[in-house]
Chains A and B, each alone.
Chain A
Amino acid sequence: MAHRKTLAGLVAATILAGSTGVSYAATEIQWWHAFSGRLAELLTEQVEKFNSSQSDYVVVASHKGNYSETLNAGIAAFRAGEQPHILQVFEVGTATMMSAKGAIKPVFEVMEETGKPFDADAYLAAVKGYYTTTDGKMLSLPYNSSTPVLYVNRDALTKAGLDPDMDLSTWDKVNEAMDAVKASGSSCPLTTAWQSWVHLENLSAYHNVPFATKENGFAGLDTELSFNGPVQVKHIEAMGQWAKDGKFIYAGRRNEGGARFRAGECAFFTESSAGYAGVKAEADFAFDIRPLPYWAGTEGAPQNTIIGGASLWVMAGHKDEEYAGVAEFLNFLSSADIQASWHQNTGYLPITMAAYEQTKDAGFYKENPGTDIAILQMTGKAPTANSKGLRLGSFDQIRGIIDEELEAVWSGDKTAQAALDNAVARGNQLLRRFEQANR
C-alpha cells in the first residue's frame, strides 16, 4: 500500500518535472521503525499525509521488527554504509546512539544547518529531557513516549465490597484494597507489565532517589547503578511479600500481564499509559486509570515519573538536501495536529504543550476520563536530576539482568536486598565495558 502510494508520488513528480522542462525528482527519505498492527497503520497515515502535503520529499517508512531488531538493523546498515535517514530507537538505546558520535546527526544540528524553524522549548520538559544533552540540546526527536499508570478494574473492587472511587494514591492503600479483593476470591489482585521500568526505574524517579550515579548517567559514562537503596529495597520487598501471599501475580517480563487484566482476571495492573487503547478495546468491565501509587512518608514523593517509548534519530552520512527533507518531516511530526491525534488514538503522551492544550480544548479528557493522568503525573513537578530520565549503556541487557534478579525475588529464591545488590554488581560490569568501548 505504502509502496504503491510512493510509486504514484514518484510518477506524479516525474510527469510534473517533464511538463515544466526542469530535471527534477522528489528526494527520498528512508524511515525505519518498529511498529506493527494498529500503531503501524497510524504511522503510515502520518507519512501519507506528509507526502501528499508537499512534492519535494517522499518519506518511505519500513518496518524492521521489534525495537531491538530495528536498532540492530540500523547498526548493521550503518556498518554497510546503507543506513536510513531516520531510525526509531527505543529509550533504552539512547546511550548507545548518543555515544555513536560519527553515526548520528543530532536533531538540533539538523535543524540549525537546514535553517528550519525549531523551538526546543515547545516540547514537554519531562519528555524532551530524556533526549537532550545536559546543556539542553536536543539529540533525537521524541516520537512515542508513555509513562506508567495504574489501571483499576472497578468491577473487581465493587465485588470485594469496596468503593471503586476509593483513594488509591499510595501503595499502603492499594495493599489494603488487594487484601479485600483477595478475600473476595480473586486469583489476581495485582499484575504488572515491564517490571524494571515500572517498579525500579520509575519508582526511583517518582520517589526522587537516584537509579544510577552521575545524574542517572546523564553526566558521564563512569556512572554506577545505585538502585539498591532503601526506597527500592522496601518496594521490592513488599512486592516479594505480595507475590508470596498470592496478591501479586507475575506474568512475564514484557506486557504478558495485560492479557490477564484485559480478560478481567486482575484487579490492578501497572502498565504504560499507551496500554489504554488495548484495554479500552478489549475490557468488558468498568475500568479506571489512576496515577502510579507511591510510598507515603518518602521525602519528595510523588516527584514525576519518567518516560518509555522511542525517539527518532537522524543518521549521519547523507546529503544536505536530504537533511532538509528530514528537518521538514520532523517538524511536520511535531505539529500540534499530528501530535494531538497521535496522543488521542494511542495513549502515548503528546510531545508538545500545544498538542496537549489542543486535546484539552477539544474536550477529549472530559469524554475519556483518566487519559490525562499520565501527562499530569509527568508534568506535576519540574524534573530533578533523579527524575529526568536514564542514560545507561548496554541498558537493554541490564534490564535483562534486573528481570532475572526480580524473578528470583518473586519466586522466593532471594531477598530483595540480595537480588538488587547482585543486579547492581552485574550491571556495573556491563557499564564498565560500555565505558571502555566508548572511550
Chain B
Amino acid sequence: MQKRVVFNNRLLPYALLAPQILVTAVFFFWPAGQAIYQSAFIPDPFGLKSQFVGFGNFEFLFSDPYYLASFQTTAVFSAAVTLLSMGAALWLAVMADRIIKGSGAYRTLLIWPYAVAPAIAGVLWLFMFNPNVGLVAWYLNAIGYDWNHVLNDGEAMGLVVVASAWRQISYNFLFFLAGLQAIPRSVIEAAAIDGASFWKRFWTIVFPLLSPTTFFLLVVNIVYAFFETFGVIHTITGGGPQQATTILVYKVYADGFIGQDLGSSAAQSVVLLVVVGLLTVVQFRYVERKVHY
C-alpha cells in the first residue's frame, strides 16, 4: 500500500521542485542548448563574428579519420579503465572482507588514492615513467626494456589506463566492500556447511548478490572514463603519440582551447552528449536485466 501525499496548495509542489529544476536548467539544459546552437556556427575566437554553417561542423568531423579513430580509442580506453579498476577493486574488497585484524588500517590505505586529484595522479605516474627522468623507466631500461611512451602508442595507452584506473580503484573498493558486508552471513555459512569452496561460494552466491553494486559501479566508471580522465591524459601524454590517447572529451578540449575552433568543439560536445545518452539507455535496458535486486 503506497502512501500518497496530497498538497492542498496547488503551487506548493512546484515551489518545492523549483530549486532542483532551476539547478538542472541552469547547469544542464542551458549549456547543452548553447552547445547545440553553437555547433551550427564557425565563430572567431574573440566572438566578434560567426558564420552559420548548418551541419557543416558535423560534416567536417565525420570526414576526419582522426575523429572516427577517436571513438575507437575512447572505447578501448573506457573498457580497459573500467575493467581494470573494477576488477582490482573487487579482488581487494574480497580480500579485505576476510581480514579480521587491522582491517581498518587496510581499508583506510586503500581509500587514500581517491583523494588525489586527476592532474596530480597524472603527474605522479608521469614522474615514474618519464623516459628522461622517470625512476621506473630507468629501471626498465636497466633490465633491457626500452620504455618510451612518448613514441610508443601501446605504452602510452597502457600508462594512461593504469593511471586513470588507479585512482578509481579506491572508489570502487569502498562500494564493493559495503556491498559484500550487506550480504547475509547465514547464506554463505549455509553454503560452507554444504561443502562449497571459497571460490564456489563467491561465484554462485556473492557475485550475483553483489550485482546491483557492480551495475551501479559500471555506470559510474564508464562515465568517469569518458569525462573525468581528462586531467590524467592532459598531464601524461597530451593525447599523443599520434593521437593514440586522444579520447573524445580530450579532443573537445584540444580543438576548443588549443585550436580556438569553438564551432567544432561545440559539435563534438553534442556528439558526446548523444553517445553518453545512448550508452546509458543501453546499460539500463540490457545490462540491468541481469541484475538481481
Contacts and interface: CB of A to CB of B under 8 A. Distances in A.
A78 B46 contact: yes
Interface in B242-261: 242-243, 254-255, 257-261
Given A250-B151, A251-B131, A397-B254, A99 B44 contact: yes
A439 B257 CA distance: 21
Nearest to B264: A433
A50 B131 CA distance: 44
A433 B45 contact: no
B132 A75 contact: no
A382 B188 CA distance: 86
A439 B51 contact: yes
A433 B257 contact: no
Given A397-B255, A404-B240, A410 B151 contact: yes
Interface string A389-426: 00000101100100111011011010000000000001
Interface string B14-53: 0000000000000000000000000000111111101101
Interface in B99-124: none
Contacts of A408: 241-242
A256 B47 CA distance: 35
B42 A436 contact: yes
B258 A397 contact: yes
Contact of B46 (A100, A394, A400, A430): A100
A9 interface: no
B241 A404 contact: yes
Contacts of B44: 99-100, 437-438
Given A96-B45, A103-B46, A436-B53, 8 more contacts: A79-B47, A100-B48, A396-B258, A396-B259, A397-B259, A433-B261, A436-B51, A437-B44
The list of the 4 closest CB pairs from A to B, nearest first, reads A397-B259, A411-B151, A103-B46, A100-B46
Determine the interface band of chain B, counting residues with CB < 8 A from chain A: 20 to 34
Nearest to A434: B261
Given A102-B46, A250-B150, A436-B51, A96 B260 contact: yes
Interface residues of A, number: 38
A256 B132 CA distance: 8
A408 B150 CA distance: 11
Contacts of B132: 251-252, 256, 259-260
B260 A75 contact: yes
A63 interface: no
Contact of A404 (B50, B51, B242, B264): B242
5 contacts: A68-B258, A75-B260, A78-B46, A251-B132, A397-B261
A411 B260 contact: no
A411 B152 contact: yes
Contacts of B53: 436
A382 to B, nearest CB: 33
B258 A407 contact: no
Interface string A40-67: 0000000000000000000000000000
Nearest to A99: B44
A116 interface: no
B68 interface: no
B60 interface: yes
B259 A407 contact: no
A256 B130 CA distance: 10
B237 to A, nearest CB: 11
Nearest to B66: A426
Contacts of A436: 42, 51, 53
A298 interface: no
Contacts of B264: 433
Contacts of B254: 397, 400
Given A100-B48, A411-B152, A436-B42, A394 B259 contact: yes
A429 B45 CA distance: 17
Contacts of B64: 429
A437 B151 CA distance: 34
Interface in B217-275: 238, 240-243, 254-255, 257-261, 263-264
Given A260-B132, A437-B42, A101 B48 contact: yes
B124 to A, nearest CB: 18
B133 interface: yes
A103 B241 contact: no
B53 to A, nearest CB: 8
A72 interface: yes
B178 to A, nearest CB: 41
A102 B48 contact: yes
Interface in B129-175: 131-133, 150-152
B150 A407 contact: yes
Contacts of B260: 75, 96, 394
Given A259-B132, A394-B259, A396-B259, A407 B241 contact: yes
A75 B45 contact: yes
A400 B151 contact: no
A13 B50 CA distance: 45
Contacts of A404: 240-243
Nearest to B53: A436
B233 to A, nearest CB: 14
A411 B46 contact: no
Interface in A212-256: 250-253, 256
A75, A403, A405: residue with the most chain B Cβ atoms closer than 10 Å: A75
A102 B132 CA distance: 45
Contacts of A410: 151
Contacts of A72: 257
B60 A433 contact: yes
Contacts of A437: 42-45, 50-51, 261, 263
B31 to A, nearest CB: 16
B256 to A, nearest CB: 10
Contacts of A400: 254, 258
Contacts of A251: 131-132, 150
